[in-house]
Amino acid sequence: MRTGSVEPTTLCSELELEVRVNNPKYMGRRTRYAYYALSGSLFFKGVVKLDLMLEGPREECVVGKREFGEGKYGGEPCFVGARGANSEDHGYLLCLVGNENGGFSELWVMDARSPSLDIIAIVELPVHVPMGFHGCFVSEAQLAQQKP
């Protein structure tokens, strides 16, 4: 902001990452954790959690990673905070995952604090969701506040 210029920098990982998300309660503030979609050939092949407080030239800061598996590709991850969360990463990562072999889609719910982004639930959806679909999590209370 002071100089008016932008310099590209490598965060801390050599992985090809896209679509950053973090806990929305920390939006606009410095955050420790960020979640990225892990690029595949054409679509995202997984999700990665970075610890942005680990600094240094090319120091690896990947503290969580989950790949979807052979023939499965995901959309952008979405972070949903847990009720009564006591830390920035206390919550869940939601991701739509498509299976190119079976032509169906699933909603994956992962533990955002786990080093392997442990799967808490996989919900098979009644319809296939096209790859590249964008969306966000909205609570029932937020939905009720929307004007018709």
What's the confidence (pLDDT) of residue 48? Answer: 94
* Rounded CA separation 33/63 (Å): 9
When pLDDT is cut at 50, 70 and 90, the band that residue 144 belongs to is confident
* Rounded CA separation 54/145 (Å): 39
Q: Are 59 and 12 in contact (CB under 8 A)?
A: yes
What are the tens digits of pLDDT across the range 20-58?
888 888 888 888 999 999 987 778 999 999 998 886 556
What's the confidence (pLDDT) of residue 75? Answer: 87
What are the tens digits of pLDDT across the range 68-84?
999 899 988 999 999 99
What's the confidence (pLDDT) of residue 59? Answer: 66
* 109, pLDDT greater than 90: yes
What's the confidence (pLDDT) of residue 135? Answer: 66
Q: Are 78 and 94 in contact (CB under 8 A)?
A: yes
How would you class 110 by CB atoms within 10 Å of its CB: exposed for 0-12, middle for 13-18, buried for 19 or more?
Answer: buried
How would you class 32 by CB atoms within 10 Å of its CB: exposed for 0-12, middle for 13-18, buried for 19 or more?
Answer: middle
